[in-house]
Amino acid sequence: MQLEVTRESGDLTAALIGELDHHAAADLRQRIDTAVLSCRPRRLIMNLERLTFMDSSGIGLIMGRYRLMVSLGGEVRVAGATPRMERMIRLAGLDKLPIWEERKSEHETHQ
């Protein structure tokens, strides 16, 4: 599992690459949280475009980062989820969080 973290104009992007399972989740949590706490972005973008597998630990990773960012006055956006990952996220109830509102409207605009 790889993680690429980039910062641009107040946004911090965490691109997850490879397979996200419970073994990788703890390391990713620590690395993303360290980056968030050191630069205090207004928005954390979790880019799942190059993620090839995600189990339920991915749901926990997203939820934890959402809680962290809200506690810091920021927000989270999820980008690049495959249809399979989106279904898993919907089943877990995360589609009810504001992380999806902007993304859905962007997706509908491009159709």
| CATH number of the domain that residue 100 is part of | 3.30.750.24
Q: What is the residue-averaged pLDDT of the chain?
A: 88
> pLDDT by residue (tens digit) across 51-76?
999 999 999 999 999 999 999 999 99
> What is the span of the domain harbouring residue 17?
2-109
> pLDDT by residue (tens digit) across 30-47?
999 999 999 999 999 999
CB 37 within 8 A of CB 71: no
pTM of the model: 0.85
CA trace torsion 63, 36, 31, 21 (10° rounding) = 20
Give me the number of domains the chain comprises.
1
